[in-house]
Each structure stands twice: as C-alpha cells, then as structure tokens.
A and B are shown apart, each in its own frame.
Chain A
C-alpha cells in the first residue's frame, strides 16, 4: 500500500525546498498550487487527495485477489486490461478537458461515430479506415472547441448539443441504425482491436503508449502546462501571454480524436461499427477522471490518477461479474456511490487546505 502513496509523497514533499531551483517549481504546477500547504495535517490532506485512487485501487485489487481465485488468472486480468483500455483513451482526453475547467459530454456519441466511420472507411482500405474516423472526429472536436473558446459558449451546453447532434449523425450515416457496417475480413485494422503482443492485448499496449505520450504532453510541454494555467485562472493566463483560445480549442480536438480512436478500436475488436454503442460512456469517463483526483474546477489533475480511476471502475465491474449472483445494475450503483464518496472527500480535503 505504501508503494501507492510513495511517488506522490515525494512530489509534494520536495516542494518546500524547491524555491532555490526555479525549474522544479515551474514544472510541477500541481505541486506549486499546493505550496501554501505546510502543516503536516494539510500535507497529508493534499497527499490523500492526489492519491486516493491508487490506494483504493490497491485495496480493492487485494480484496478481489484474496476473494476470487479466478481474478488473478492471466486471462481475466488481460480481459479487464483490454476492457479498461477503451475507457482509458476517452478518460485521457477528458482529463485534458477538465484540467482547463471544461467538460466534454459528447465523447460517448463521438465514440460511436468513430467506430461506424472506421468500418465504413475500412471497406475502402486500411488508410481510409484510419483517417476517416480520426479526421471526422477531430473536426467535431474542432467545431466544439471553436464554439467554446472563440464564441465563449459554455462547454457544458456545446458538448451537450454535440452529444445529441453527433448521435444523430451516427444514425444518419447508418440508415437510422439499421445498417451495421462490417470491416472486410482481411482488413489489417482488425488487428488493432484484437490479438495479443507479449501476452498483453494490443489495445492495452496502445493505451499504455498513449499514457506515456499524453503524460509527457500534459506535464512536460508548454502546451500542457498552459492548460493548468487556463484551468486555474483563464484571464490571468491570458495576461501571462498563454494562447488561451488556441489551447482550449486543441483540448477539445484531442478529446474527440481520442474518443473516436477508442470507438475505432472497439469496432475493430467486434469487426463491425455498431451505431448504438457508447451511450453514457461520457459518465464513466468523467467518473474515472474525478475519482482519479482531477478537480472539476480545473487547474489540477494527473493522467496517472485517471488511469487508476479507470482501472478501479473496471475492477469493480469485474468483481460484480465474478460474484455472479449480483445483477449487473449494481455496477452503476457502486460507481455512483464511489463518485459521491470521492467527491465529498476531495471537497472536504481541499477545504481543509484552504483554511
């Protein structure tokens, strides 16, 4: 359990010594935000807020391992990891959006659009199968991003309209959902969603690779750091010279592209694009991000926490499946309860830090 707390603890612990080294402070924006937290109580509060998800994940994982023999089998873990990969891609994008203080409710619909367009495109070759979904989904994100960043409309409403409109678009290109588009049986794209590499499912490798790439993008680049500034205080960020409109727009492009890519992978796994998938997927993604310790008010958040949040949701789902006698509806009940508990704890902890 202590290993779960370790990395975050080091990050927070080094802050008081940091002023001598400007580079360290500038890079660790999250830590910089928490600099006023000095007393041990406040430090523990900050630590818990950032690391609740990994700790709970370890506890729940141990519980599952000790209770169910089947849980730790290679096959089961591989399936859970693959299942989590698709949600992880969406949740990565959601983390970026939420760090800027926004929200993207359209990802569930964009996810379905990505899958359907991938199947349609794949019938004209693998390149079209790759570019059509990613391109169109990026355009959807661009449109939403422009309306939010340039026209100043609330992200919540714009992406709500996106949720409706994109789902309508999905049904429009599939004859009201009557057509199921299938990938050609020899399409190389199918390999993205199925099969294993070194014993681990390919979608899991993709999710891990993107975790590294996006993690670097969020914490080690000018663009990523500007997002924290925007989420913390948009007008101040503008005065600092951060290109607020451009960065905000790009965040929604990223979120939609990742959601479309996740949809493409799921479609490749099922070898067909199904129009009615992904309903409510945005809720799972937001829940994972929030459980992972990213503040919905913006300005703070980590991809690692999000990944832990995703895994936590999926492990809980797996446990409920393994119990077997429980109705699958319990899964959403447990997710909802987790969400409340985490949010309440977060709120109480952040209030404690402020005092």
Chain B
C-alpha cells in the first residue's frame, strides 16, 4: 500500500518548485555571508561615516580585534570537534593575574609561565571532556565559574601596572604600518589554518567533530586529539590575555576577558563554522571577528548607544545560526 501511495508523490516532494534556488542562496549566504557583510559594512562606512575609513581608525580597529580574534581561533578548533570552550575569558584573566607576578624574572620566563598556565587550564578542560566524558559546556563551565576567582586570588584582587619596555613596545609597534599584535594574530591564524587543513592532526580533529564514535572505531586517537584541542584553546586564550594586558599597560584580572567567550563564539559561528562540528573555517572566523569589531566601531561612530550595539550583535548571532540550520527532513 505504501508503495502505491508514494510512487506518484515521490518525484514532486523533495526538490519541487523554487526550493533548490532558495537552498542555494541559503548555502551561499551561510558560507560567504560574513565576507559580503564585512564588505557592505566597510563600503557603508566609506560613504556615510566621517573619519571611519582612515588609516588611524582602521589601525585602531585591527588592534582592538586582536584578543577576540586569537581566542576565536582556539574556539573554532574546539567547535570543530563539536565542543565548546566557555572558559576562555577566565583563562585570559588568569593570564592577566600571572603576568605581572613573573615579569620580574624577565619577559620570556613570564610569558612562558602564562602560556603554561593557559595550557594547564586547557588540559583540565580536555581531560574532563575526553577522558571522563563530561559534556564540553559543563566541563568548561567549571573553569568559567572558578577561573576568574582564582585569578583574583592570585592577584590579590589588585590591578598592577605593566612596566616591561619590551612588552609595551610590542603592543604599540608597527610592521609595515600594521600593528604588531595583529600581525601576531594573523600568523596564529595561518598556523591554525594549516594545522586544520594540511595535517593529519587537523583531519582527525574534523573526523571527531563529524562523528566521534566512528572515529574511535576507526582507530583514531580521539582522547589525545581532543585534549590537545582544548590545550590549544587555553594557550591561545593565554596569548590573548598577554596581548590585551600589554595594550592596557596594566593587568585587570577582574574585568579582562569578561564575556569574550560570547564574542569568540559569535565570530566562529558568523564565520560559517557549524556548531555541530566536522568543519572549521579559519578565514571565516577571522572575518567574523573583524565583522563584530567593525560593526561595533560603526555603531559607536554613529553615536548609537552600546545597548543597541549589544542587541544588534544578538540579532546577528541568531541570523547566522538560522542560516546554518539544516533543512528539516519532514
């Protein structure tokens, strides 16, 4: 009976009418919407915002985007494994707390200690997720709850001035007119991009995100790969913390990195990386971070209050996720 029924209905059902075109438009927007939006926004500013498209301001925007961008690179890898890392902001604040404590021993030891601390945070997250099988949201939530408190305990609740000339010099340096911190972020983006696209490690990461059970059955080192992904995310967050602290010229463990996880997740999702894992778009993530930054800058330059900017950012997240939503099977 079912076969009689379905025969005539079958050809009409799946691809009838204007659906393929709409679907193609959706896919195009999902994959390239972030570039289109960024271009449109820059064009708009070119014509309608006084003093936005100037070398000084663009340089400033590039400088401001760095912490979110660096954090978002790690977040993209984690999301590629179908995970999430909510602890990045807390790791940034731990970095801010530790940095002045060890700068007395010199810049290199201090940076190494901070990076190590970030890696240890990542190791904790990764172990909870990969070895114990705790959901990524919960595993990283613990550090989000406790990490900033720990940072404040380490720093004794105080903000400390940064006086190391090398670090301060790096924060304000320019190479070929481009701020040095942004160049560092760009190098990190290239490294992450190469790691994800061109290495066995990257392919494992994507395979795990696509289907972790199948990856395990196929003999991939799922645990080890997952742990290293969270370690990478923690380390990148620590780098972001160092850069942001250097730019502030003072450590601010109570505020630094607060809500950065939201901006980073937005950048990744807007950039076309699906939350369901199995795919990482590094260039899209860079563009996503820039889009959020430029959007915020544009709204500020038009004297739009920060509250509206926040609402707009919320709408953009929803729009990006709505575009990603797989078409319903029913």
Question: For the complex, is A171 an interface residue (Cβ under 8 Å from B)?
Answer: yes
> Known contacts A172-B308, A343-B139; is A335 also within 8 Å of B145 by CB?
yes
A10 within 8 A of B: no
- Contact A164 to B310, CB < 8 A, known contacts A283-B144, A340-B128, A344-B134: yes
Please provide the chain B residues from 305 to 330 with a CB less than 8 Å away from any CB of chain A in the complex.
Answer: 305-311, 313-315, 317-318, 321-322, 325, 328
Q: Could you tell me if B142 and A340 are in contact, using CB atoms closer than 8 angstroms?
A: yes
Interface residues of B in 271-330 (CB under 8 A from A): 275, 305-311, 313-315, 317-318, 321-322, 325, 328
Q: Which residues of B contact A154 (CB under 8 A)?
A: 275, 321
> Please, how many angstroms separate the alpha-carbon atoms of A344 and B125 in the complex?
12
Choose one: A157, A168, A297, A329; the contact of B308 (CB below 8 Å). Answer: A168
A 145-161 to B, binary, CB cutoff 8 A, 1 in contact else 0: 00100011110111011
Residue-wise interface mask of B (147-168) relative to A, using a CB-CB cutoff of 8 A (1 in contact, 0 not): 1111011001100000000000
User: Which residues of B are found within 8 Å of A147, using beta-carbon distances?
Assistant: 318
On chain B, which size bracket covers the interface?
A: 35 or more
CB distance from A141 to the nearest CB of B (A): 15
Cβ of B84: which chain A residues have Cβ within 8 Å of it?
156
Q: Is the CB of B275 within 8 A of A157?
A: yes
Indicate if the CB atoms of A162 and B314 lie closer than 8 Å.
Answer: yes
Q: How far is the CB of B132 from chain A (nearest CB, A)?
A: 5
**Chain A nearest Cβ from B58, distance in angstroms:** 26
Determine the distance from Cα of A347 to Cα of B84 in the docked complex, in whole angstroms.
18
A335 to B147 Cα, complex, angstroms: 10
A176 x B137 contact (CB < 8 A): no
Question: Is A283 within 8 A of B145, CB to CB?
Answer: yes
- B244 interface residue per 8 A CB criterion: no
Find the A residue at minimum CB distance from B254: A329
Which residues from B are CB-within-8-Å of A162? 314
- Residues on A with beta carbons closer than 8 Å to the beta carbon of B313: 164-165
- Cβ of A330 and Cβ of B138 under 8 Å apart? no
**Given A151-B322, A176-B306, A344-B132, A157-B317 contact (CB < 8 Å):** yes
Identify which of B128, B139, B149, B325 contacts A153 (C-beta below 8 A).
B325
Interface of B is mostly: helix
Kindly provide the distance from the CB of B166 to the nearest chain A CB, expressed in whole angstroms.
Answer: 30
Least CB distance, A344 to chain B, in whole angstroms: 6
- In whole angstroms, how far apart are the Cα atoms of A106 and B314 in the complex? 11
Decide: B153 and A165 in contact? CB cutoff 8 A: no
Asked if A153 and B314 sit within 8 Å, CB to CB, the answer is: no
A160 contacts B141, C-beta separation under 8 Å? no
Complex interface: chain A residues within 8 A of B318 (CB): 147, 153, 157-158, 161
- The answer to whether B306 touches A171, judged by C-beta atoms less than 8 angstroms apart, is yes
Who on chain A is nearest to B328 by CB?
A152
What distance in Å separates the Cβ of B142 from its nearest Cβ neighbour in chain A? 4
A327 & B153 in contact (Cβ 8 Å cutoff): yes
A251 at the interface (CB under 8 A from B): no
* Known contacts A157-B269, A160-B262, A339-B145, then 10 further A-B pairs from the complex at CB < 8 Å, ordered by chain A residue: A154-B275, A157-B265, A164-B262, A170-B307, A171-B306, A330-B149, A335-B149, A336-B144, A347-B133, A347-B134
The 19 sampled A-B contact pairs (Cβ below 8 Å) are A153-B322, A157-B275, A163-B262, A164-B311, A164-B314, A165-B313, A165-B315, A171-B307, A176-B305, A296-B138, A329-B149, A335-B145, A335-B146, A336-B144, A336-B149, A340-B142, A344-B132, A347-B132, A348-B132
Interface residues of B (CB under 8 A from A): 84, 128, 132-135, 137-139, 141-150, 152-153, 156-157, 262, 265, 269, 275, 305-311, 313-315, 317-318, 321-322, 325, 328
Nearest 5 CB-CB pairs, A to B? A336-B146, A332-B149, A165-B314, A168-B310, A171-B307
